[in-house]
Structure 1
Amino acid sequence: MAVASASIAQPAPAARYGARLEGFDYPHPVRTFAFASQDQPLEMAYLDVAPARPNGRTVVLLHGKNFCAATWGATIAALAGAGYRVIAPDQIGFCKSSKPPRYQYSFAQLAGNTHALLEQLGIERATIVGHSMGGMLAARYALQYPQATERLLLVNPIGLEDWNAEGVPWRSLDAWHAREQKTTFDSLRDYQRIVYYGGDWKPAYEQWVQMLGGMYAGDGGTAVAWSQALTSDMVFNQPVIYEFPRITAPTTLLIGQKDRTAIGKDLAPPDVAKRLGDYPALGKRAAAAIPGATLVEFEDLGHSPQVEAPARFNAALVSALE
């Protein structure tokens, strides 16, 4: 009995995946969009899920920095069940897509890549949903391609404050890289538990820690860390909030109130760090800045309401779409 109990108590082996997340299964077949960008061939992985009873509308799901298209699994099922065609790409530099070592990352470039994918698929107009970093990208997409944006939905987007303007010190690309190289399963789990989920943790969250941590731990970990450093630099230095008043698409913000995400908080002076990532205030401020925006608040949820309470979040999302 003692031997059996000890074996049960052992943690599961840490995952090891390839630089393009080889070995991690997605909930739907992964397709690849091959294109040229910045004088090099690239491949963008994506999911394209058709509904049983199409309503003629398409929803594009944009993942966050610590997430992938697979994280949208429950949301994809809910949207497809409601009649929507769903496109969920992995952005260049992330997950199952190419990770070029030399690439000028910008939200405008990622929006352009996404728009090229939709054009390739014959999709002229779609609803754009962005979570976390994907929220910054979704906002840029709506600004850059207003005629192609039917609606805009932002799910706990980061970038609702300009961290540099708030007093967070600048960090060099080399410093971002050094920080990324220290990433472990434990550091990912601790960060997400404290910042994303208000100190709570559920076993269901572990798969996403394994997904991300497995790329760092795998043979392609060097390429992953460098890509993450490049995109961290993009996130910190390319605020989009100043352009919120120019968004013309009907917009809904879905905000978990327990979220405290703020990029660079670890470098900020204590008085600055204390006030950063106040999503109850940030959500209201963003809704006031975007013309006609609607704010949906989840009092008991954090950074990833679609992960914490899928049924409740998906019901709110479909309601906003309709």
Structure 2
Amino acid sequence: MPRATRDDVSIYYEHEKGGGDGAADPVVLLQGLGFGRWMWRWQREALRDKYQVIAPDTRGTGRSDAGLPPLLPRLPGRLRTPLLSRFGYSIEGLAADLEAVLEDAGVRSAHIVGASLGGMVAQQYAVEYPRASSLTLLCTSHGGPDAAPIPEDVRQQLLAGGGDGDRKRLRDSMRPVFSERFTNRNPHLMDRIVEWRREQDAGGPARIAQGAAVSNFDVADRLASVRVPTLIMHGTDDRVVPPANARLLAERIPDAELEHVDGGSHCFFVERDDRVNESLLSFLAEQER
């Protein structure tokens, strides 16, 4: 089980090496807030025949260490939450974790794909480190005062998403990220997702610490320095990260491609995986010519 270490915190990642002839850059998949590696299972299946795939567990998620002061998780919620919100993770730190993973994996350049929180980490990584050969940004934002904010009620619902593994709270926290039509038509899949989340998602303290990273993120004024091909995809019915953020990103990243997915939810890469995979594979193939 490969692991990278930064600041004495162990970051777990999976590295599938079976795809392609080794000539193409590997594809790195970065997770959303609190979500485990399960969220990329549809994209990993589509990518593995042609590309190596690297899937890290975000700090505090899955098999990666949380790296939080040991006393914090033991504090009462009324004390713990304000401290984690103020002294939680940062996007800069999560980007440094990614650099440690790629260094450990011996990767000189990679296609970086990030959704939501992962898309923020991808942006930060591209402006600070040289290994990104392309960016694919899904349902994300450049942060800061100019971004369209996550509605506060939705943010609180996501952060309350059953860090203790409670099935009902996990299911309730998914209401904003999936469309009602999809959940009603796929009850068995939603049951499986709940179980995957119980196994892989971030615990309560780490989820709040990741939320702090999102709240404090702002890379808007640095995106003009991004000089790698960039694909931006966003669902038009995203209730978590308003779709206006996709246009704002496209305006700031030079020559970025913008693709709206009509009717897509925040997790449109799950609900509309065929559409997303087709666009992603086409975009990656262009970069390898």
Smaller-chain TM-score range? 0.7 to 0.9
Residues 37 and 200, structure 2, Cα contact 8 Å, conserved in 1: no
- Could you say which residue in structure 2 is the equivalent of 1:290? 253
- Could you say which residue in structure 1 is the equivalent of 2:131? 148
Q: Secondary structure at the residue paired with 1:100?
A: coil
Give per-residue Cα distances to partners, 1:274-322, cap 9 Å, x unaligned: xxx431x221222122110001111032112221122221111101112
Cα distance change on mapping 1:199 and 1:119 into 2, 3 Å: same
Q: Whole-Å Cα distance in 1 between the matches of residues 93 and 242 of structure 2?
A: 29
Offset of 1:34 from its aligned partner? Answer: 4.3
Structure 2, unmatched stretches of 5+, are: 70-86
| Letter matched to residue 253 of structure 2 | I
Cα distance change on mapping 1:289 and 1:179 into 2, 3 Å: same
Given the alignment of the two structures, is residue 278 of structure 1 paired with residue 242 of structure 2, yes or no?
yes
Counterpart pick for 1:73 among 29, 41, 46: 41
- Could you say which residue in structure 2 is the equivalent of 1:241? 220
Give per-residue Cα distances to partners, 1:251-291, cap 9 Å, x unaligned: 11011111110xxxxxxxxxxxxxxx431x22122212211
Offset of 1:86 from its aligned partner? Answer: 0.6
- Could you say which residue in structure 2 is the equivalent of 1:205? 190
- Could you say which residue in structure 1 is the equivalent of 2:24? 56
Give per-residue Cα distances to partners, 1:169-211, cap 9 Å, x unaligned: 99xxxx99x9567874333323323x22233312323323333
Question: Share of identical aligned residues, percent?
Answer: 28
| Letter matched to residue 127 of structure 1 | H
Cα distance change on mapping 1:214 and 1:253 into 2, 3 Å: same
| Letter matched to residue 197 of structure 2 | L
Q: Whole-Å Cα distance in 2 between the matches of residues 316 and 167 of structure 1?
A: 27
Given the alignment of the two structures, is residue 320 of structure 1 paired with residue 283 of structure 2, yes or no?
yes
Q: Secondary structure at the residue paired with 1:295?
A: strand
What is the TM-score when the length of structure 1 is the normalising length?
Answer: 0.71
Residues 130 and 138, structure 1, Cα contact 8 Å, conserved in 2: yes
Equivalent residue runs for 1:1-322 within 5 Å:
31-37=1-7, 41-54=8-21, 55-81=23-49, 83-102=50-69, 105-145=89-129, 147-157=130-140, 159-162=141-144, 179=160, 184-193=166-175, 195-200=176-181, 201=183, 202-203=186-187, 204-213=189-198, 224-261=203-240, 277-279=241-243, 281-322=244-285
CA radius of gyration, larger in? 1
Q: Whole-Å Cα distance in 2 between the matches of residues 167 and 84 of structure 1?
A: 35
Q: Whole-Å Cα distance in 2 between the matches of residues 239 and 208 of structure 1?
A: 31
Offset of 1:52 from its aligned partner? Answer: 4.2
- Could you say which residue in structure 2 is the equivalent of 1:17? none
Aligned residues: 258
Offset of 1:108 from its aligned partner? Answer: 1.3
Residues 196 and 258, structure 1, Cα contact 8 Å, conserved in 2: no
Q: Whole-Å Cα distance in 2 between the matches of residues 48 and 191 of structure 1?
A: 30
What is the TM-score when the length of structure 2 is the normalising length?
Answer: 0.79
Q: Whole-Å Cα distance in 2 between the matches of residues 285 and 79 of structure 1?
A: 28
- CA RMSD in angstroms comes to 2.9
Residues 61 and 200, structure 2, Cα contact 8 Å, conserved in 1: no
Structure 1, unmatched stretches of 5+, are: 1-30, 217-222, 262-276
| Letter matched to residue 98 of structure 1 | D
Cα distance change on mapping 1:162 and 1:52 into 2, 3 Å: closer
Give per-residue Cα distances to partners, 1:94-149, cap 9 Å, x unaligned: 1221122228621111111111111121111111000111000010011111x211
Structure 1 residues 308-317 or 47-56, which shifts more?
Answer: 47-56
Q: Whole-Å Cα distance in 1 between the matches of residues 95 and 163 of structure 2?
A: 29
